[in-house]
């Protein structure tokens, strides 16, 4: 019997990207990793009977343990989707860890640039475009190889909230496509 490739999703908040990835016909979310036990992403994982791994720190022992645990589960790809702690590259997952970022990297990336802070910076700058980027995870914030980007126009009437909504809508299209391309 054919089984879908398994992915792990790391999330710290609302779980909107997690919901977007659930029920896909080309891969299965088999594990959710979070650093916040009471976040919505963990509740969504529990509702969907998805294994949850809680992270308090990435010390050497825990990093080795989670690396082995995910590998033993048959995870093929780790997807950071709103995970707000620096996630080290795991030994068994070099070139198998990606992140979705709500800007056109290298603009508005790096430590401290996440969520609404990114969109506020774009609006403040007067940029005519923003967007989303999927990139490989390395040991620097938002510095991994860019795999795909999608542009979103910044309209004169946009504020951070309206821009965030437009970017997230594009993320919902971009992220699953990149995941599928990496798993084929």
Question: Could you give the residue numbers annotated as active site?
Answer: 101
| Torsion angles phi and psi, residue 57, rounded to 5 | -160, 160
If we measure between CA atoms, which residue out of 28, 44, 24 comes closest to residue 173? 24
């Amino acid at each position: 019997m054919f089984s879908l490739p398994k992915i792990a999703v790391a999330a710290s908040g609302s779980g909107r990207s997690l919901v977007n990835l659930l029920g896909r016909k080309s891969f299965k979310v088999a594990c959710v990793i979070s650093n916040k036990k009471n976040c919505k992403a963990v509740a969504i994982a529990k509702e969907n009977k998805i294994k949850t791994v809680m992270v308090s720190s990435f010390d050497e022992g825990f990093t080795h343990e989670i690396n082995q645990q995910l590998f033993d589960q048959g995870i093929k790809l780790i997807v950071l989707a709103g995970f707000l702690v620096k996630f080290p590259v795991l030994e068994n997952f070099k070139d198998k860890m990606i992140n979705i970022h709500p800007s056109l990297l290298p603009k508005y990336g790096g430590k401290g640039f996440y969520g609404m802070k990114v969109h506020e910076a774009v609006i403040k700058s007067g940029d005519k475009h923003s967007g989303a980027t999927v990139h490989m995870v390395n040991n620097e914030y938002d510095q991994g190889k860019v795999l795909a980007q999608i542009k979103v126009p910044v309209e004169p009437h946009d504020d951070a909230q309206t821009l965030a909504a437009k970017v997230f809508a594009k993320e919902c299209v971009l992220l699953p496509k990149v995941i599928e391309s990496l798993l084929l």
